[in-house]
């Protein structure tokens, strides 16, 4: 009898930890503003949150993950140092353990499919019918079905089958991220927190069930403070490499006043320390990877020109300076993004009076 009471108490304790999305719509000016854009094509734009997206979490390749796994299929957490605005940080990624058909569990780390699905879910979040934001709790939820995710990916040329999407959603909800500055832990959580099914009893197996997931605090805070930026998600998803997409997001946040007469420059060392996409065995190959990414950004209409200046000590290349000039399309998109930000800020001020 006593054991039964203990089990019941434990079960209730677990149930209290699991959050559920609000059962009713919440009136939120911030969520309304998050859904407003300045564009002629609403389907082509979304929002980007610099602080959250600066965290390197999707750099794992299948070969790298295989090396990290033990013979039993498990893996230890992976620590990755990186730099954000000259601040030295570390992200520790605890792998998701997913049950396999043989009954055993296998470790998975987030990778390119999870990256693309996060972009898709943030786009779905901009639809007022599927986004919920509670400013009193700084909580943001996105509702979606697996079919919705598949449709959005296919529309942008990043097709994934339903099994791939199911597994990616599980990885995003089960892997745990710990962000630290020095020895101080700043935040811990999953990419998709408190994943629940809203309208049916079935869980992730039902591709038509409406799911909901609570997004990380970084995104909720950005919505509250209007600290996000409009960008062309179609252009982002058309890019073939993760480094190209990382650079494009960087330009969106830091080349805000892009014009065909104003250049923007950055260093190879900065990209290497801030991302995880220049970790090849030789610097020559890493530098080639940078040039390939810049050339892709030119082909896809983000850049018009780029110049390369090698920094040497003697005959050794110690760094590289890249100077880029925006394309006309990117200049127009950045002007629209800045106008959208000013409009949101003005509306929020008026609402607060």
Tens of pLDDT, residues 55-97: 999 999 999 999 999 999 999 999 999 999 889 999 999 999 9
Which residues make Cβ contacts (< 8 Å) with residue 91, sequence separation at least 6?
A: 55, 56, 57, 79, 80, 82, 177, 178, 179, 180
- pLDDT given at position 11: 47
Tens of pLDDT, residues 150-188: 999 999 999 999 999 999 999 999 999 999 998 899 999
pLDDT band at 264 (very low <50, low <70, confident <90, very high): very high
Q: Give strand ranges (E) for 190-291.
A: 193-197, 211-214, 229-232, 263-267
pLDDT band at 207 (very low <50, low <70, confident <90, very high): confident
Compute the average pLDDT of residues 225-245. Answer: 97
| Distance from C-alpha of 337 to C-alpha of 253, rounded to nearest angstrom | 10
Compute the average pLDDT of residues 219-243. Answer: 97
Q: Give strand ranges (E) for 239-351.
A: 263-267, 303-313, 316-326
- pLDDT given at position 10: 47
Q: Among the listed ranges 10-14, 41-45, 99-103, 106-110, which one has the minimum average pLDDT value?
A: 10-14
343 phi/psi in degrees, rounded to 5: -65, -45
Compute the average pLDDT of residues 224-235. Answer: 97
pLDDT band at 12 (very low <50, low <70, confident <90, very high): very low
Contact 93, 77 (CB under 8 A): yes
Tens of pLDDT, residues 245-255: 999 999 999 99
Which residues make Cβ contacts (< 8 Å) with residue 169, sequence separation at least 6?
A: 117, 146, 149, 192, 195, 204, 211
pLDDT band at 244 (very low <50, low <70, confident <90, very high): very high
DSSP conformational letter for 262: B
For the cut 50, the answer to whether the pLDDT of residue 13 exceeds it is no
Q: Which has the higher per-residue pLDDT, 234 or 209?
A: 234
- pLDDT given at position 107: 98
pLDDT band at 352 (very low <50, low <70, confident <90, very high): low
pLDDT band at 16 (very low <50, low <70, confident <90, very high): very low
pLDDT band at 134 (very low <50, low <70, confident <90, very high): very high
Mean pLDDT across the chain: 92
For the cut 80, the answer to whether the pLDDT of residue 204 exceeds it is no
For the cut 80, the answer to whether the pLDDT of residue 4 exceeds it is no
210 phi/psi in degrees, rounded to 5: -85, 115
DSSP conformational letter for 281: S
This prediction has a pTM of 0.91
Percent of the chain predicted with pLDDT > 70: 93
Calculate the CA dihedral of residues 258, 48, 25, 225 and round it to 10 degrees: -70
Tens of pLDDT, residues 297-345: 999 999 999 999 999 999 999 999 999 999 999 999 999 999 999 999 9
Contact 61, 85 (CB under 8 A): no
């Amino acid at each position: 009898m006593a054991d039964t009471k203990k089990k019941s108490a434990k079960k209730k304790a677990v149930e209290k930890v699991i959050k559920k999305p609000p059962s009713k719509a919440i009136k939120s000016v911030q969520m309304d503003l998050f859904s407003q854009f300045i564009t002629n094509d609403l389907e082509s734009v979304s929002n980007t949150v610099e602080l959250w997206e600066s965290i390197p979490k999707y750099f794992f390749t299948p070969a790298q993950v295989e090396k990290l796994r033990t013979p039993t299929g498990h893996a230890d957490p992976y620590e990755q140092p990186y730099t954000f605005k000259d601040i030295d940080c570390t992200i520790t990624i605890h792998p998701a353990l997913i049950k396999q058909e043989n009954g055993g569990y296998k470790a998975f780390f987030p990778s390119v499919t999870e990256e693309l699905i996060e972009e898709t879910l943030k786009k779905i979040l901009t639809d007022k019918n599927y986004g919920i934001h509670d400013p009193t709790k700084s909580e943001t939820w996105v509702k979606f079905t697996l079919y919705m995710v598949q449709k959005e990916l296919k529309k942008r040329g990043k097709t994934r089958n339903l099994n791939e999407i199911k597994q990616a959603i599980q990885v995003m909800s089960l892997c745990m991220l710990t962000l630290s500055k020095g020895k101080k832990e700043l935040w811990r959580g999953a990419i998709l927190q408190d994943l629940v099914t809203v309208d049916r009893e079935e869980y992730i197996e039902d591709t038509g069930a409406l799911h909901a997931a609570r997004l990380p605090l970084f995104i909720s805070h950005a919505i509250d403070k209007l600290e996000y930026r409009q960008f062309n998600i179609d252009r982002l998803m058309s890019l073939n490499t993760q480094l190209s997409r990382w650079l494009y997001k960087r330009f969106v946040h830091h080349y805000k006043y892009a014009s065909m007469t104003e250049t923007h420059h950055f260093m190879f060392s900065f990209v290497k320390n801030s991302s995880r996409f220049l970790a090849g065995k030789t610097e020559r190959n890493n530098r080639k990877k940078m040039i390939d990414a810049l050339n892709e950004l030119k082909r896809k209409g983000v850049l018009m020109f780029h110049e390369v200046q090698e920094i040497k000590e003697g005959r050794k290349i110690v760094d590289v300076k890249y100077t880029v000039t925006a394309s006309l399309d990117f200049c127009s998109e950045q002007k629209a993004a800045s106008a959208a930000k000013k409009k949101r800020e003005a509306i929020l001020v008026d609402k607060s009076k």
